[in-house]
Amino acid sequence: MSYVDGEYGGELRYTTNASGSWRLVKIDAANSDFGGSATDTAVAVDAQGKLHITYYRDGGLTYATNR
């Protein structure tokens, strides 16, 4: 699951249970302010385990990933 947490300044976050228990992870994009303008997140994981998140921000489709 991915979402924008507006309570903490608009952080892009996702949850995972890849280790066997659920944990919350913040996508820390340098110079990004997700505050209130990011909506409609979608998340996918590729065959190598890399996370991909898309979301709308300021009217345009945007992409984020974990490295």
Q: Can you spell out the DSSP letters for 4-59?
A: EEGGGTSEEEEEE-TTSS-EEEEE--TT---TTTEEEEEEEE-TTS-EEEEEEETT
Length of the chain: 67
Give the tokens for residue 6.
């507006």
* 0.75 surpassed by pTM: no
**pLDDT tens-digit readout, 33-61:** 555 566 788 889 899 888 888 888 777 88
